[in-house]
Amino acid sequence: MVRVGREEVESTVRARAVFGALRLAAASVCAVALVHRLFWGLSSQTIAGENFFAYLTVQSNCALVVVLLVGAVLAVTRATDPRWFSVALALVLTWTITAGLAFALIVWQAGLRGIRVDVPWSDLVLHFYLPVCTAVAWILTPGHRAVPWWVVPSALAFPLAWGGVTLWRGPAVGWYPYYFLDPRQVSGPPEFFLTSGVALAIFALVATVIVFGSRVQRHRRERPTA
């Protein structure tokens, strides 16, 4: 029994080390993609490029870099992640995954309207590849703590605050990062509130899935074996 327990601990330590390296690699890829997207936007000499840091995607991915770097250290120094880290990671993943879904919807709608949207490789990384990889890692990484359900409403705090600042700032600079926030591009308040409500509902749904996944993982880990 002691030997089995020791082998299990050693296996967990090795797995944590591997996922720590993966977290570090993901943070590096995310940082490189952010830098590329910044200079790509500036080279276009448009107001969108000048307002690079106004995008929710950019802000949430900057937070993702920080959280993944912290997570890489925790993975090689602790057998389990502290609860505060699991909560922080769940929040950030909610924002990045939802931003990716929103970006896909915007590109799709732009195509329906005949509007050209250039998508560099860094956008693909930030909006699609990283969210998918981090979502898979969320389920597979050993040592995760179960995330409490209050994370779901808490996940809405950032997009609500970001939206408020964007609506306040938009008229001053004459630009909005997403079309549905621009009064000039929507039919009126009903479309604005409907689209914004759907966006918040997606945030809540993604957060719910993330929290549920963490709790299912905990139950599987604690299930007694024969």
Name the band, by pLDDT with cuts 50, 70 and 90, for residue 219.
Answer: low
Percent with pLDDT over 90 in the chain? 52
Residue identified by tokens 């601990």 is: 9
Q: How far apart are CA 178 and CA 101, in angstroms?
A: 13
Express each pLDDT in 124-183 by its tens digit: 999 999 999 999 999 888 877 889 999 999 999 999 999 999 999 999 888 888 878 888
Query: How high is the pLDDT of residue 122?
Result: 92
Residue identified by tokens 């950032």 is: 158
- Whether 110 and 180 have beta carbons less than 8 Å apart is answered as no
Q: Report how many helices (DSSP H) and strands (DSSP E) the chain contains, helices first.
A: 9, 0
Residue identified by tokens 């590849």 is: 129
Q: How far apart are CA 142 and CA 133, in angstroms?
A: 15
**Amino acid in the structure at residue 193:** F
Query: How high is the pLDDT of residue 218?
Result: 58
Q: What does DSSP assign to residue 51?
A: T
Three-state SS sequence of 138-197: HHHCCCCCCCCCCHHHHCCHHHHHHHHHHHHHHHHHCCCCCHHHCCCCCCCHHHHHHHHH
CA-wise closest residue to 87 among 200, 219, 215:
215
* 88, two tokens: 């922080």
Task: Give the pTM.
Answer: 0.88
* Domain locations in the chain as residue ranges: 2-222
Express each pLDDT in 27-49 by its tens digit: 999 999 999 999 988 887 777 77
Query: How high is the pLDDT of residue 225?
Result: 42
